[in-house]
């Protein structure tokens, strides 16, 4: 993981599919250099670190015996049901009811997509 960079997300799109890779791995790769420049050392792994902000995908927050209470956990709900075992929750749909624990954050662009030609505007030429 340490040899990958933000640019590898577009160059090697296939591994960046699914919620965990799109939300957690891309967030790590895209923010790592900015965090390092700010004096923050980001890490990525399977365990929560006490005294740190820990990001975790909703699918990874189903472990009933995990010591969530020792860590500050930001849960990435994605398109799943609410996460109750975290301190904060990121939702990808701004139509979700807002509260003090939930925050809207647009989803990272899907890796490997070819951008739509802006000159086409809203014209639909072909559906399949």
Distance CA 85, CA 79 (A): 17
| pLDDT for 74 beyond 80 | yes
Answer yes or no: is 80 within a domain. Answer: yes
pLDDT reported for residue 64: 60
Say yes or no to pLDDT of 89 above 90.
yes
128 in any annotated domain: no
Report the 10 Å Cβ neighbour count for 29.
Answer: 20
Range of the domain at 115: 6-120
Q: Domain for residue 40, yes or no?
A: yes
Instruction: Calculate mean pLDDT across residues 30-49.
Output: 90
Counting the structural domains of the chain, the total is: 1
| Per-residue tokens: 56 | 């975790």
């Amino acid at each position: 993981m340490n040899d990958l960079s933000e640019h590898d997300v577009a160059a090697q799109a296939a591994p960046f599919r699914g919620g965990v890779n799109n939300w957690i791995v891309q967030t790590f790769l895209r923010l790592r250099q900015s965090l390092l420049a700010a004096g923050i050392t980001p890490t990525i792994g399977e365990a929560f670190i006490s005294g740190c902000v820990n990001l975790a995908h909703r699918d990874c927050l189903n472990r009933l015996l995990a010591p969530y209470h020792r860590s500050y956990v930001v849960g990435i709900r994605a398109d799943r049901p609410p996460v109750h075992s975290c301190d904060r929750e990121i939702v990808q749909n701004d139509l979700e009811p807002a509260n003090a624990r939930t925050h809207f954050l647009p989803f990272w662009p899907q890796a490997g997509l070819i951008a739509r030609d802006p000159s086409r505007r809203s014209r639909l030429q072909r559906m399949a």
